[in-house]
Amino acid sequence: MHQNSSVTEFVLLGLTQDPIKQKMVFSIFLIFYVGTVVGNVIIMVTIKFSQTLGTPMYFFLFYLSFVDSCFSTSTAPRLIADVLSKKKIISYNECMTQVFALHLFGCMEIFVLIFMAVDRYVAICKPLHYATIMSKQVCIILIVLAWIGSFIHSIAQIILALRLPFCGPNLIDHYCCDLQPLLKLACMDTYVINLQLVSNSGALCLSSFLFLLISYFVILYSLRNHSAEGRKKALSTCTSHIIVVILSFGPCVFIYTRPPTTFPMDKMVAVFYTIGTPFLNPLIYTLRNAEVKNAMKKLWHIQIT
């Protein structure tokens, strides 16, 4: 614990203090969380055991589903449990662990979405070299590098958090521990730390978002040379990816790329990208993807018969 901190625990104010609204929050987010875990586990099992989903795109989709489950688990169970408890207390160490987990899995999701964009770019723009460029070894190396990169990013965030001295009050106006709400409670001038936060998380979110938008623009532009059938299939896949990118990055850019001010909507925006997006991803990828749907039908039919 930080030597300048006299605070050993924090109180999370959650999404609402209203008892009726709290019951609604409990029901809605329990459904969302269970749906997220079940949906993502079904995708992971389908990809793992299906004969037809062996391409790099599904290799990365497997990791996206895994990361989504972990990302949601870093906040949702706490939010659901806190609604039922009278005192929403989180210890200093638990709080720092949550900051670390949130940024580790959040950063990993960014990397996986970038890899999925690169995979689509190579498949559509360099089809003859696809097997060489996106080989199994390359995909594994990319995932390992992504874990290392995410770990370094999270360590950088946790170092910023550990440097903050807390001497009371200890009420966090949020449903989880993150650097933005913690900066408000620190008994020091947090201007420099906020700049570091913006230059680290903010720059990562914004640059990745712009990179992905440009990638998909290039991919869509190059589709004009393809056959109608090829264009339709590629458009269907890319549209799913673009929807997920906008849903994942919009809220992230909103929260991490601005001066140290907090808005009333911050909590709802955070809910959207920590709990909403991991829930929607499996739906978007399965509902819009015939290959995944067919593989699921085959796999579960084999299991039943």
Q: Where are the domains of the chain?
A: 9-304
Per-residue pLDDT band at 3 (split at 50, 70, 90): very low
Per-residue pLDDT band at 48 (split at 50, 70, 90): very high
Over the chain, what is the mean pLDDT?
Answer: 88
pLDDT value of position 40:
95
pLDDT value of position 304:
62
Residue with the bigger pLDDT between 11 and 251: it is 11
What is the pTM assigned to this prediction?
0.90
pLDDT value of position 305:
54
Per-residue pLDDT band at 236 (split at 50, 70, 90): confident
pLDDT value of position 232:
83
DSSP string of the chain? Answer: --TT----EEEE--S---HHHHHHHHHHHHHHHHHHHHHHHHHHHHHHH-SS--SHHHHHHHHHHHHHHHHHHTTHHHHHHHHH-SS-EEEHHHHHHHHHHHHHHHHHHHHHHHHHHHHHHHHHH-GGGHHHHT-HHHHHHHHHHHHHHHHHHHHHHHHHHHT----S--EESSSS--HHHHHHH-SS--HHHHHHHIIIIIHHHHHHHHHHHHHHHHHHHHGGGS-HHHHHHHHHHHHHHHHHHHHHHHHHHHHHSS-S---TTHHHHHHIIIIIHHHHHHHHHHHT-HHHHHHHHHHHHHHH-
pLDDT value of position 224:
84
Other C-beta atoms closer than 10 Å to the C-beta of 9 total 13
Per-residue pLDDT band at 235 (split at 50, 70, 90): confident
Greatest extent of the chain over all pairs of C-alpha atoms, in Å: 66
pLDDT value of position 136:
94
Query: Which of 70-74, 223-227, 236-240: highest mean pLDDT?
Result: 70-74
pLDDT value of position 1:
47
Model confidence at 302: pLDDT above 80: no
Average pLDDT, integer, range 61-71 = 95
Q: Calculate what percentage of the chain has a pLDDT beyond 70.
A: 96
121-162: pLDDT as tens digits: 999 889 899 999 999 999 999 999 999 999 999 999 999 899
CATH topology of domain 9-304: Rhopdopsin 7-helix transmembrane proteins (1.20.1070)
76-93: pLDDT as tens digits: 999 999 988 888 899 999
pLDDT value of position 303:
67
Per-residue pLDDT band at 5 (split at 50, 70, 90): low
Encode burial over 37-56: b for 16+ CB neighbours within 10 A, e otherwise: bebbebbbbbbeebeebebb
